[in-house]
Chain A
Amino acid sequence: MNIVHTIWSSLLVIQRGIMILSSSLILLGLGVTVVLRYVFQTGLHGLEELIIIPAFWMYFIGAAYGTYKKEHITADILSVYLKGEKKRLWLKVIISLINCSLISIFAFWSIEYIIWSINSGAHSNVWKYPMYIPQSSILVGFGLMTLYTFVDLVKGIVNLYRYKT
């Protein structure tokens, strides 16, 4: 149980690290672009190509962290009118089940995509880095979202079971 706990919290620490690092790199990169162009009348070709990497990692790790923090936008009209704790618990389980199954489908499709990308040898124009470097952020993001929605589902079922007994 201790190991699971350690892995769980390390995952969160790593995500926070990636978010801080990637957004700092983007800020720096763009700042340098402005200074180079305006002050030195020149530019580092392919810098925007490099910025794509932290950008995508910020987007998808952010999305995963948002899932953990339950920050995804919801219309949530039914729960206002739903009477009774048991019905609410059931609704939570159903929603978690829908979320988890949908995102796992997309996580699976992104595995296929990354495998294709690795085999295709797709690379960027200027720096020639492999495209799976930014692209794999989608797989990692969707993977983590699957994990968090799954844990949510399990929690929901446990709560429902506890309420019944």
Chain B
Amino acid sequence: GNNDQASGEGGEKTYELKFGGIMPEDHPTTIAMKKIAKDVEEQTDGRIKIKVFPASQLGDYTLMYEEISKGTLDMGLMSNPSHLDSRQEMVLLPYLFKDYAQAEEQFKLDSFVGKTLQEIDNEQNIQLLGFYAQGFGGLGSKNEVKDPLNFSTNKGVLLRVPGMDTFIKNAEDLGFNTVPLPYADLYTALQAGTVEGWVGGHPQVNYMQFRDVINYYYQYNNFFEAHNLYINKDLWNSFTEEDRELFQTLADEMTAYSFETAEQLEVEYRAKLKEEGIEVIEFTDEELQTLAEYSRENSWSVAEETIGKDLLEELLSALDE
């Protein structure tokens, strides 16, 4: 971007950075972005200024990722795109994590997941600084899901799934008829009944965006969503040791805070869904465990192609530790 670097009065570099996000203005994730911007500016006495652009104002996350790689955007807090490296999809494997504790364990820079993601991002000239936990997802639906825990019986719901092999396979293994549909068309399609349900959102999204068009929400916990805090690597390398420490400390605090609050938010938004008259179905730990085992056994095989057999095995053993 422009005015990235200039010499300050004391010979220290000054920065004006652009920081892009995908969540709405008053969403906790965006508030966290603004907090980082404010803290950095204060603690560097205005030497590093960060301008926050939330709500995909600078484009969708795949595009922002490319821009951070090239350096036309400096920082981002967003989903990890897989169009440059399919291995990014590893964090979206169905039932990768069994609970918040395990997710928090892996969404750390020194864990297996954290290290692998850092490597992948480094290859794209991007430094990964931390995560913002969004929570466990499930299935929003107009119709009741028949036998939600019984595998292979037809569920009676025409389900929209994101265009990702593991998602598609997992939903079909569970007995859903799946169809592709652009996310932009999803709301109207649900409203009209073109599709009857969708998988890929946590309670917050289902409440904020789809509460008018769904009657049921199933907390399947089939995937865990976390946003990634990125910074351009050349920029990162140009920082002084002190600046890097400051950014890393703030990123660590953000990651920890997001995990403290995510579970609470999930509960809150499930309650809000209920207030709207939507039937919320939750499962016991044992039931979720059965679903997870079944999914790993049957649905993960397709990921051998996208993320690679070796990585898949390493990931499994890292999780079992």
Contact = CB atoms under 8 A, between A and B. Distances in A.
Given A41-B158, A121-B84, A125-B164, A47 B180 contact: yes
A123 B86 CA distance: 9
A120 B178 contact: no
A120 B126 CA distance: 13
Interface string A31-63: 000001100011111111100000000000000
B301 interface: no
Contacts of B165: 126
A37 B158 contact: yes
Given A37-B158, A37-B194, A120-B66, A43 B83 contact: no
Contact of A45 (B158, B177, B178): B178
B70 interface: yes
Interface in B247-295: none
Contacts of A126: 163-165
A43 B163 contact: no
B166 to A, nearest CB: 11
B182 interface: yes
A124 interface: yes
A42 B177 contact: yes
A25 B70 CA distance: 34
Nearest to A131: B83
A123 B88 CA distance: 13
Contact of B83 (A42, A47, A124): A124
Nearest to B158: A41
B82 interface: yes
A126 B164 CA distance: 6
Given A37-B158, A120-B84, A125-B82, A48 B182 contact: yes
Interface in B67-99: 69-70, 82-84, 86
A108 interface: no
B179 interface: yes
B84 A43 contact: no
**Which of A41, A45, A48, A123 has the most C-beta atoms of chain B within 10 angstroms of its own C-beta?**
A45
A125 to B, nearest CB: 5
Nearest to B167: A45
Nearest to B194: A37
Among A42, A48, A122, A125, which residue has the most Cβ atoms of chain B within 10 A?
Answer: A125
A122 B161 CA distance: 22
A116 interface: yes
Given A43-B180, A44-B180, A49-B163, A116 B70 contact: yes
B168 interface: yes
Nearest to A125: B163
Nearest to A120: B84
A146 to B, nearest CB: 24
Contact of B179 (A37, A121, A122): A37
Interface in A142-161: none
B66 A45 contact: no
B163 A45 contact: yes
A37 B161 CA distance: 13
Given A46-B180, A124-B83, 20 more contacts: A36-B179, A37-B179, A37-B194, A42-B177, A42-B178, A43-B178, A43-B180, A43-B181, A45-B178, A45-B180, A48-B180, A49-B163, A120-B66, A122-B83, A122-B84, A125-B83, A125-B163, A125-B164, A126-B163, A131-B83
7 contacts: A37-B158, A41-B158, A45-B161, A45-B180, A120-B84, A128-B86, A131-B83
Q: Across chains A and B, which 8 residue pairs bring their CB atoms closest together, nearest first?
A: A43-B179, A125-B163, A41-B177, A45-B180, A126-B163, A37-B179, A43-B180, A122-B83
